[in-house]
Copies of this chain bind each other. A is one copy, B any other.
């Protein structure tokens, strides 16, 4: 991914939002956004140089692989949203490519502005452009607002999302 590329321009009424691939200098702000979330707060944050190194290594792994796009939503020079879109090959469903969305976050100041809907709309369109047969994500069972949000977009809660911490 060219780091300077614009993925989409979104007019939210209250302002113009640019979707673009994340750059190395975004890592701290992205971790802050992930940690600002109620569930992320217990798991994420940059406390020292070792933390920043771990996040930077993950950023580099994402950026190095065209199967992943770490998306930043920027408004007036500030990061107001993020999500990761990944394209996963598989045999099932007639060899369908799947788009998987992880780590969707909208800054508190932009919640209710339509930004989340616009971000997901772009991701779904991008999945179509890549020829994906399916978009999938998991969302914590405690995030009831998120379930309604995704259902309004057409997602069906057909599966149990199971996790095993190592």
Bound: A97/B138 CA distance, A: 16
Q: Which residues of B contact A62 (CB under 8 A)?
A: 89-91
Residue from A137, A138, A161 having most chain B Cβ neighbours under 10 A: A161
Contact call A136/B156, Cβ cutoff below 8 A: no
Give the interface size bracket for A toward B: 35 or more
Within 23-71 of A, Cβ neighbours of B (below 8 Å) are at 27, 30-31, 34, 40, 43-44, 51, 54-59, 61-62, 65, 67-68, 70
Bound: A156/B161 CA distance, A: 8
A41 nearest CB across to chain B (Å): 12
Contact call A89/B103, Cβ cutoff below 8 A: no
Q: Which residues of B contact A94 (CB under 8 A)?
A: 43-44, 51, 54-55
Stretch of A13-21, A109-117, A124-132 lying at the B interface: A124-132
Interface residue ranges, A against B (CB under 8 Å): 27, 30-31, 34, 40, 43-44, 51, 54-59, 61-62, 65, 67-68, 70, 84, 86, 88-97, 100, 102-103, 124, 127-128, 132-141, 147, 150-151, 153-166
Bound: A92/B62 CA distance, A: 12
Q: Which residues of B contact A128 (CB under 8 A)?
A: 166
Q: How many copies of this chain does one complex carry?
A: 2
Q: List 12 A-B contacts (CB under 8 A).
A: A43-B92, A51-B94, A54-B95, A58-B91, A61-B97, A92-B102, A134-B166, A135-B164, A138-B159, A138-B160, A157-B161, A158-B162
A94 nearest CB across to chain B (Å): 5
